[in-house]
Amino acid sequence: MESQGRDEMKGPVLHIVVVGFHHKKGCQVEFSYPPLMPNEGHDSSLLPEEWKYLPFLALPDGAHNYQEDTVYFHLPPLSGDMKCVYGVSCYRQIEAKALKVRQADVTRETVQKSVCVLSRVPLYGLLQAKLQLITHAYFEEKDFSQISILKDLYEHMNGSLRGSALEGSQVYLGLSPRDLILHFQHKVLILFKLVLLEKKVLFYVSPVNRLVGALMTVLSLFPGMIEHGLVDSSHYKPKSSVSDDLSLVECGLGAEEFVSVSVTDIAHANMEATQPAAESLSSGNSAEGESNHLKPPSRTSPESSESDWETLDPSVLGEPKEPAAGSSGSDMLDAFDSKPGTPITVQPLGVSGQGGVIQGLVSGLEEDQYGLPLPIFTKGYLCLPYMALQQHHLLSDVTVRGFVAGATNILFRQQRHLSDAIVEVEEARIQIQDPELRKILSLTTADLRFADYLVKHVTENRDDVFLDGTGWEGGDEWIRAQFTLYLHSLLSSALQQDNERLLADYGVPFIGAWKNTHNFRVWFSNKHPGMTAITPGHPFQGQYSVGDVKLRLSHSVQNSERGKKIGNAMITTSRSVVQTGKAVGQSVGGALTSAKSAMSSWFSTLAQPSPLTPSSGPEPASEVKP
- 517 within a domain of the structure (yes/no): yes
Q: Is the pLDDT reported for residue 265 higher than 80? A: no
pLDDT value of residue 547: 60
pLDDT value of residue 461: 62
Q: Is the pLDDT reported for residue 258 higher than 90? A: no
Let me know whether 67 and 148 are in one domain: yes
- 434 within a domain of the structure (yes/no): yes
pLDDT value of residue 4: 44
- 43 within a domain of the structure (yes/no): yes
- 487 within a domain of the structure (yes/no): yes
Let me know whether 112 and 208 are in one domain: no
Q: How far apart are CA 223 and CA 233, in angstroms?
A: 16
Let me know whether 121 and 25 are in one domain: yes
Number of domains the chain is built from:
2
Tell me which of 206 and 566 has the higher pLDDT: 206
- 271 within a domain of the structure (yes/no): no
pLDDT confidence of 96, banded at 50, 70, 90? confident
Last residue of a domain, one of 111, 138, 162: 162
Let me know whether 108 and 190 are in one domain: no
Let me know whether 151 and 212 are in one domain: no
Let me know whether 180 and 155 are in one domain: no
CA quadruple 366, 368, 369, 373: dihedral sign: negative
Whats the size of the chain, residue-wise?
Answer: 626
The CATH number covering residue 483 comes to 3.40.50.11500
Q: Is the pLDDT reported for residue 274 higher than 60? A: no
The domain in which residue 98 lies consists of 13-162
Let me know whether 367 and 223 are in one domain: yes
Q: Is the pLDDT reported for residue 168 higher than 60? A: yes
Output the CA–CA distances (angstroms, integers) from residue 534 to 49, 479, 605, in the order listed.
47, 19, 93
- 19 within a domain of the structure (yes/no): yes
- Tell me the per-residue pLDDT of 363-411, one tens digit each, with 9 for 90 and over: 778 899 999 999 999 999 999 999 999 999 999 999 999 999 999 999 9
pLDDT value of residue 472: 75
Output the CA–CA distances (angstroms, integers) from residue 236 to 48, 89, 286, in the order listed.
14, 21, 19
Can you give the pTM of this predicted structure?
Answer: 0.72
Nearest-CA neighbor of 412 among 430, 434, 387?
Answer: 387
Q: Is the pLDDT reported for residue 435 higher than 70? A: yes
Determine the Cα angle at 525 with ends 262 and 192, to 5°: 60
Last residue of a domain, one of 527, 542, 557: 542
Let me know whether 129 and 197 are in one domain: no
Average pLDDT over residues 175-185: 95
Let me know whether 122 and 196 are in one domain: no
Let me know whether 196 and 88 are in one domain: no
- Tell me the per-residue pLDDT of 498-531, one tens digit each, with 9 for 90 and over: 788 889 999 999 999 999 999 999 999 999 999 9
Last residue of a domain, one of 127, 143, 162: 162
Beta-strand pair 402-407/421-424: unpaired
Let me know whether 72 and 187 are in one domain: no
The CATH number covering residue 56 comes to 3.30.450
pLDDT confidence of 100, banded at 50, 70, 90? confident
- 592 within a domain of the structure (yes/no): no
Let me know whether 138 and 181 are in one domain: no
